Structure 1
Amino acid sequence: MDNKWYFDIAPGAIDDLREHTSQITTLIPFWYGVKPDGTLADMSSQDVKSIASQNNLPIFPIVHNYSDPKKSQLIHDLISNTSLRSILVNSIVNMALSNNYPGINIDFEFVPPEDRSNLNAFMEELYYSLKNANKIVTISLPAETEDNPRHPFSGAFQYTVLSQFTDQAYVLAYDEHFSKPGPIASIGFVRSVLDYATKSIEPKKIWLGMAVYGYDWAEGSNYPRTLSYFQAIETAKNLGVKIEYDETAQESTYTYTVDSVKHTVWFEDARSFQAKLPLVSQYGISGIAVWRLGQEDPDIWNILNRI
Structure 2
Amino acid sequence: MNDSNCKYRENNWYYISTSQALKALEIHAYEIDFLIPFWYGITEKGTLVDQSQLEALLIARRSKLPILPIVHNFSDPQMAGLIHEVLTTPNIRQNLIFSIENLLITQNYAGVNIDFEFVPPEDRSYVNTFMEELYRRLSPRFRVTISVPAQLEDNPRHPFSGAFDYGTLSRFADQLNILAYDEHFSTPGPVASIGFVRRVLDYAITKIPRHKIKLGMAVYGYDWVETGGMPRTLSYQSAVNLARQYGATIIYDEDAQESTFTYTAYGVRHIVWFEDSRSFSAKLDLVIRYNLGGIGVWRLGLEDPRVWEVIRKKFPV
TM range (shorter): over 0.9
Instruction: Write the mapping of 1:39-188 to structure 2, written as runs, cut at 5 A.
Output: 39-131=47-139, 134-188=141-195
C-alpha displacement at 1:220, in angstroms?
3.0
Q: Does residue 1:301 correspond to 2:308, yes or no?
A: yes
Instruction: Write the mapping of 1:130-279 to structure 2, written as runs, cut at 5 A.
Output: 130-131=138-139, 134-279=141-286
Structure 1 partner of 2:39: 31
* SS at 2:23 equivalent: helix
* SS at 2:104 equivalent: helix
Amino acid at match of 1:98: T
Structure 1 partner of 2:23: 15
C-alpha displacement at 1:280, in angstroms?
1.4
TM-score between both structures, scaled by the size of structure 1 = 0.98
Task: Indicate if the aligned counterparts of 2:246 and 2:264 stay in contact, CA closer than 8 A.
Answer: no
Distance in 2, matches of 1:296 and 1:46, equals: 23
Distance in 1, matches of 2:181 and 2:103, equals: 30
Amino acid at match of 2:272: V
Task: Indicate if the aligned counterparts of 2:156 and 2:163 stay in contact, CA closer than 8 A.
Answer: yes
Distance in 1, matches of 2:69 and 2:243, equals: 35
Distance in 2, matches of 1:304 and 1:277, equals: 8
**Over the residues paired in the alignment, what is the CA RMSD in angstroms?**
0.9
Q: Decide which moves more: 280-289 or 239-248.
A: 280-289
Distance in 1, matches of 2:260 and 2:33, equals: 30
Distance in 1, matches of 2:142 and 2:76, equals: 27
* SS at 2:99 equivalent: helix
Please give the per-residue CA displacement for 1:240-297, whole angstroms capped at 9, x wherever unaligned.
0001110000000011121222211000000100111111121111111100000000
Distance in 2, matches of 1:57 and 1:177, equals: 33
* SS at 1:277 equivalent: helix
Structure 1 partner of 2:6: none
* SS at 2:261 equivalent: strand
Q: Decide which moves more: 17-26 or 255-264.
A: 255-264
Please give the per-residue CA displacement for 1:24-52, whole angstroms capped at 9, x wherever unaligned.
11100000000111100001111111111
Distance in 1, matches of 2:37 and 2:187, equals: 29
Distance in 1, matches of 2:48 and 2:268, equals: 43
- Which of 289, 306, 310 is the equivalent residue of 1:282? 289
Amino acid at match of 2:168: V
Regions of 4+ moved over 2 Å: 219-222
C-alpha displacement at 1:212, in angstroms?
0.1
Amino acid at match of 2:99: S
What fraction of aligned residue pairs are identical, expressed as a percent?
A: 57
* SS at 1:199 equivalent: coil
Task: Indicate if the aligned counterparts of 2:36 and 2:70 stay in contact, CA closer than 8 A.
Answer: yes
Distance in 2, matches of 1:113 and 1:261, equals: 38
C-alpha displacement at 1:108, in angstroms?
0.7
Task: Indicate if the aligned counterparts of 2:41 and 2:75 stay in contact, CA closer than 8 A.
Answer: yes
Q: Decide which moves more: 252-261 or 119-128.
A: 252-261
Distance in 2, matches of 1:108 and 1:262, equals: 35
